Amino acid sequence: MPDIEPPVEDKAASASIYTNEGVVRPEFVASLLEAAQAEWEEGVRESVRDLHESEMADILEAVGEDYRNKIVELAGRDFDFAALTEVDEAIRLDIVDNMSNAQVADAVRGLDSDDAVFILEDLGSEDREDILAQIPFQERIRLRRSLEYPEETAGRRMQTEFVAVPPFWTVGQAIDYIRAGEDLPERFSEIFTIEPTFKLAGVLPLDTMLRAKREVVIADIHETNSHPIEAVLDQEEAAQVFEQYDLLSAPVVDENERLVGVLTIDDVVDVIQEEAAEDIKRLAGVGDEELSDSVRSIARSRMVWLGINLVTAILASLVIGMFDATIEQMVALAILMPIVASMGGNAGTQTMTVAVRALATKDIDTYNARRTIRKELQVGLLNGLAFAVIIGFVTLVWFGQPSLGIVIGIAMIINMVFAAASGILIPIALDKFNIDPAIASGVFVTTVTDVVGFFAFLGLAAWWFGI
């Protein structure tokens, strides 16, 4: 056996693998890599055996691609396959691709159905079918049913293991069933009541059941308003249901209102984080790229929106070209005009960011849309007046021309108001046409603020000075 100490001496304190800054300790990674290089199987297994899946995921991202698969191989059955649900897609696919379908099938059998689906959905159809064929029939049927639902829906996120009993049972019967049941989830906070046709009848929280006497009929104490979620509902809308009703879990039903699964809060937290990150990335035009993606794929994903931005920049340049004679006769205009466009762009981005997020969370609706638009226009006007005074004074001191200060001040007001208008109206309009405002708003808002800013400033200058 190699003379190497296991990376973690005290397994009871898994937090010890992290520094105070929350990153994996370099000495832990170095010792684990040393064990992997020496192909010390027991050392690697001892290191990862008691780690939480999220901790294992952090380690996989920290060790790099050169030793990632080696560590998984040496860890064997001590590797928590659920860790693959916590890493980037590129890392997950790299690890799975280096395993045989039989190994993947064996690992998937030990996962909750929602985690298994999360891993299987990214695989090629041929490999996925081969893996499913090696899974027991009942579990295979549940996984297939989830995989049939569209991506990013509640059906894809749901867990198909749940506890369901008839409403005419007593509390005692339900407790005995839970105690004796083998094919039940390891953890749950609610049991569901179903009709003979599997139609959802209600939900019974465990705390309510445990406080009731054994002879009490479940139909007398279950909650019929269980806030069921349709399996085809978008995962972001499902998360909003959880937020609205402060749910820990919710039943998932098909088109016939039959219970097909349960959506739990841990999955919803993941959805909220994913959707928030997705909106931020889309606002910047970087798509769904991840840190582990290759240079080529990242460059390709960004190239589209950079090309669109190039077109809009050319449009703004054409506006400047219309006033080339004006700029030639007054060089100060060339110095000052980026200020107007830049301020408008920043103001528009502020409004747009708030609007896009409000649309995503359904905070903007038909009842408050007009009020919100009016408020943003007032904010734009107020900020425009404030910065018009500031830039007007700066221009006066800089160039000694009061009239030029007045021109740029008026242009600033105009562009700040247009920036506010475009920042709120463009996302709302795109949303009305079922176009994701997070994707397209930035390009349009930037174009409006640049064109309006340059046109207002240079046009006013040409008219004011008669150039």
Helical packing angle, 113-120 and 137-148, nearest 10°: 60
Q: Are strands 259-264 and 249-253 parallel, antiparallel or unpaired?
A: antiparallel
Answer positive or negative: Cα dihedral of 35, 36, 37, 38.
positive
pLDDT at 455 over 70: yes
Q: What is the pLDDT of residues 207-248, one digit of tens each?
A: 999 999 999 999 999 999 889 999 999 999 999 999 999 999
Q: Which residues pair with 192 in a beta bridge?
A: 164, 203
Angle at the Cα of 330 (from 326 to 335), degrees rounded to 5?
A: 105
Residues sharing a CB contact under 8 Å with residue 133, sequence separation 6 or more, in sequence order: 140
Residue that wins the pLDDT comparison between 301 and 411: 411
Phi/psi of residue 194, each to 5°?
-135, 150
Q: How confident is the model at residue 287 (pLDDT cuts 50, 70, 90)?
A: low
* Average pLDDT score over residue span 331-353: 93
Distance CA 357, CA 11 (A): 42
Q: What is the pLDDT of residues 42-79, one digit of tens each?
A: 999 999 998 999 999 999 988 978 889 999 999 999 99
**What six digits make up the tokens of 404?**
């030029």
47-51 contact pairs (CB < 8 A, 24+): 47/6, 47/7, 47/8, 48/75, 48/78, 48/79, 48/80, 49/11, 49/78, 50/11, 50/14, 51/14, 51/17, 51/80
Instruction: Judge contact between 233 and 271, C-beta under 8 A.
Output: no
Classified as helix, coil or strand, 182 is coil
pLDDT at 312 over 90: no
pLDDT attached to residue 73: 93
pLDDT attached to residue 181: 75
CA distances from 374 to 323, 362, 379, 384 (A): 33, 18, 9, 15
Percentage of the chain exceeding pLDDT 90: 69
Q: What is the pLDDT of residues 345-381, one digit of tens each?
A: 999 999 998 998 888 888 888 788 999 999 999 999 9
pLDDT attached to residue 66: 81
* Average pLDDT score over residue span 177-184: 83
Distance CA 224, CA 204 (A): 9
CA distances from 174 to 4, 187, 250, 260 (A): 52, 16, 19, 20
pLDDT at 282 over 80: no
Distance CA 325, CA 238 (A): 58
Angle at the Cα of 276 (from 273 to 277), degrees rounded to 5?
A: 85
Answer positive or negative: Cα dihedral of 256, 262, 265, 270.
negative
List of domains in the chain:
14-149 (1.25.60.10), 164-283 (3.10.580.10), 295-465 (1.10.357.20)
Distance CA 239, CA 187 (A): 20
Distance CA 213, CA 208 (A): 10
Distance CA 116, CA 163 (A): 19
Residue that wins the pLDDT comparison between 376 and 444: 376
Estimate to the nearest angstrom the gap between the alpha carbon of 223 and the chain centroid. 32
**What six digits make up the tokens of 112?**
């909750």
* Average pLDDT score over residue span 254-269: 94
**What six digits make up the tokens of 290?**
């991840």
Q: How confident is the model at residue 11 (pLDDT cuts 50, 70, 90)?
A: very low
Residue appearing with tokens 């990862």? 48
Lowest-pLDDT choice from 81-85, 267-271, 291-295, 367-371: 291-295
pLDDT attached to residue 355: 92
Closest CA to 72 of 108, 40, 44: 44
249: left (phi over 0), alpha (psi -120 to 50) or beta: beta
Distance CA 201, CA 28 (A): 51
Instruction: Judge contact between 46 and 86, C-beta under 8 A.
Output: no
**What six digits make up the tokens of 399?**
């160039």
pLDDT at 6 over 60: no
Q: What is the pLDDT of residues 80-137, one digit of tens each?
A: 999 999 998 889 999 999 999 999 999 999 899 999 999 999 999 999 999 999 999 9
pLDDT attached to residue 8: 44
Q: What is the pLDDT of residues 346-356, one digit of tens each?
A: 999 999 989 98
* Average pLDDT score over residue span 324-350: 91
pLDDT attached to residue 250: 95
